[in-house]
């Protein structure tokens, strides 16, 4: 049974009377959102693409009595499954996305955008829905540009560069980078679809977007790309795949920011919340892993003291403020805290 978390303020949607839908509940971020919501006493319905994955999420949440599941096998088309998942919920957190890093740009972008639009339309048909929160991505604002000074991200920063690059396979970026560009384009276009829907349809429910950067920290279900990166680095001493210097956030902090937007903070409306804690590079990870886990694999880690950093300035003050006001946290978790939890049980 999940432990109870105490809030410092009264939420806009009370736990005793609120049902939250979390799509993509089998993923790294989705599973942690579910856990944090259950810890607050909310009822949660999680979706996954198959009944077996749904059963896995139930086990991951320790058969919590407030947790139920719904299969949504295809997010790219309107369906009875989507309507059934949305039925009777008070708040929707749409996390599910295409994280396969496939290089079929039309299919990936089309599927991710369609999924967002179909859940928005289903929400608009369901009178119980009061709030809708989209898990966007840091890549919807910009891909990392390590070592470049003078970059300042704002709520008006969009990754149109990735959208354009995704249209021209193999001519603007290398083959190893292109799938990441496609992913960035899908998240950019998906979030744009969200705000376009808000502008045109003027839904009765409140809408917000969370833009998380790299997620480290507690692993409940699938470790995901970045959670798995820390584990691979620890075990093998090398990266499973390239990762540019950028920002990170602890996955629990990320989950809590989703809940601030989805059920807690009444003042949050039409916000792009940048879930970025601190800049890091792989050498930072290596040094930190050697400190917190000086055992298997750690001796293989060879930090580069000259590795560049992400020098961009990001509007992450709101996230820190929300964590302080609602959870009493003194800002974001550090890389040391996050990686230590990421490697627990390994």
pLDDT in tens, the chain (346 residues): 556 899 999 999 999 999 999 999 999 999 999 999 999 999 999 999 999 999 999 999 999 999 999 999 999 999 999 999 999 999 999 999 999 899 899 999 999 999 999 999 999 999 999 999 999 999 999 999 999 999 999 999 999 999 999 998 765 666 678 999 999 999 999 999 999 999 999 999 999 999 999 999 999 976 666 778 888 888 888 777 778 999 999 999 999 999 999 999 999 999 999 999 999 999 999 999 999 998 866 678 889 999 999 999 999 999 999 999 999 999 999 999 999 999 998 8
Is there a domain that residue 175 lies in? yes
Is 198 among the domain residues? Answer: yes
Residue 61: which residues within 8 A CB-CB, separation 6 or more? 2, 31, 34, 35, 38, 46, 67, 220
Question: Nearest CA to 310 among 141, 147, 143, 142?
Answer: 147
Name the phi and psi angles at 36, rounded to 5: -65, -35
Backbone angles phi, psi at 178, to 5 degrees: -55, -45
pLDDT recorded at residue 175: 63
pLDDT at residue 297, rounded to an integer: 64
Is residue 40 in a domain? Answer: yes
CA 83 from chain center: how many Å? 23
Token look-up 């940048």 returns 274
The CATH number given to whatever domain includes residue 102 is 3.40.50.720
How far is 300 from 173, CA to CA, in rounded Å? 31
Residue corresponding to tokens 């309107």: 78
Q: Does residue 238 form part of some domain?
A: no
Q: What is the pLDDT of residue 134?
A: 99
* Residue 221, in any domain of the structure: yes
Residue burial 69-107, b: 16+ Cβ < 10 Å; e: rest: bbebeebeeeeebbeebbbebbbbbbbbbbbeeebebee
Please give the model's pTM, rounded to 2 decimal places.
0.96
In a domain, 136, yes or no: yes
| C-alpha to C-alpha distance for 36 and 24, rounded to whole angstroms | 15
Structure confidence at residue 229 (pLDDT): 85
The total number of structural domains that make up the chain: 1
User: Domain residues for 150?
Assistant: 15-225+248-278+315-332
pLDDT at 171: 58
Residue 271 lies in a domain: yes
């Amino acid at each position: 049974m999940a432990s109870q978390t105490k809030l410092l303020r009264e939420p806009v949607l009370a736990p005793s009377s609120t049902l939250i839908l979390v799509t993509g509940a089998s993923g790294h971020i989705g599973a942690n959102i579910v856990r944090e919501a259950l810890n607050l006493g909310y009822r949660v319905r999680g979706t996954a693409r198959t009944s077996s994955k749904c059963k896995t999420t139930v086990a991951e949440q320790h058969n919590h009595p407030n947790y139920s599941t719904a299969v949504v096998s295809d997010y790219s088309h309107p369906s009875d499954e989507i309507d059934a998942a949305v039925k009777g919920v008070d708040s929707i957190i749409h996390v599910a996305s295409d994280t396969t890093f496939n290089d079929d740009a039309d299919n990936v972008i089309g599927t991710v955008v369609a999924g967002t639009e179909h859940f928005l339309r289903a929400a608009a048909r369901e009178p119980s829905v009061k709030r809708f929160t989209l898990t966007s991505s840091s890549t919807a604002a910009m891909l990392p540009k390590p070592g470049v000074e003078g970059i300042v991200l704002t709520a008006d920063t969009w990754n149109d560069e990735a959208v354009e690059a995704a249209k021209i396979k193999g001519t603007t970026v290398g083959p190893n980078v292109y799938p990441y560009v496609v992913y960035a384009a899908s998240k950019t276009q998906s979030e744009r679809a969200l705000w376009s829907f808000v502008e045109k349809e003027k839904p009765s429910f409140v809408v917000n977007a969370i833009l998380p950067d790299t997620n480290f920290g507690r692993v409940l279900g699938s470790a995901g790309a970045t959670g798995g990166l820390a584990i691979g680095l620890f075990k093998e001493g090398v990266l499973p795949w390239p990762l540019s210097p950028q920002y990170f956030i602890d996955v629990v902090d990320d989950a809590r920011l989703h809940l601030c937007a989805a059920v807690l903070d009444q003042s949050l409306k039409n916000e792009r919340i940048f879930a970025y804690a601190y800049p890091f590079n792989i050498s930072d990870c290596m040094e930190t892993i050697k400190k917190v886990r000086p055992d298997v694999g750690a001796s293989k880690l060879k930090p580069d003291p000259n590795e560049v950093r992400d020098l961009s300035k990001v509007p992450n003050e709101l996230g820190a403020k929300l964590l302080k006001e609602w959870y009493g946290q003194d800002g974001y978790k550090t890389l040391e805290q996050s990686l230590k939890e990421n490697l627990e049980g390994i």
